[in-house]
Amino acid sequence: ANTRTLWWCRLAGSNTKVRFYQFDVDKCPDLAQELSIRAMPTFIIFKDGKEAKTIVGANLKAIEAALKDLEAA
C-alpha cells in the first residue's frame, strides 16, 4: 500500500461519526461532473446533505481541520 492509502484508511478509521466514500472519476464521469471535480484527489465534505467544504489535493492537515470544524458545528 502506498502512503496516500495509509493516511486515508487511518483517517476513515478514526472518525466513526463520518462516512468516507471513494470513487473512480474515470468510471463515474457523471458524478465527477456533478460534483465539479477537476483534480485528484478532491475531498468534499457534506453536512446535512449539503456541501460544506471542498479540499483539492492530499492535504491531510486541511482535511483534519475541516472534520474538526464539522464536528464542532
Give the C-alpha separation, 12 to 19, whole Å: 7
pLDDT of residue 35: 95
pLDDT of residue 31: 96
pLDDT of residue 4: 58
Which residues is 45 bridged to in the sheet?
53
Give the C-alpha separation, 39 to 36, whole Å: 9
The tens-digit pLDDT sequence of the chain (73 residues) is 555 567 777 887 887 778 888 899 999 999 999 999 999 999 998 888 889 899 999 888 999 999 888 888 7
pLDDT of residue 13: 80
Give the C-alpha separation, 20 to 43, whole Å: 10
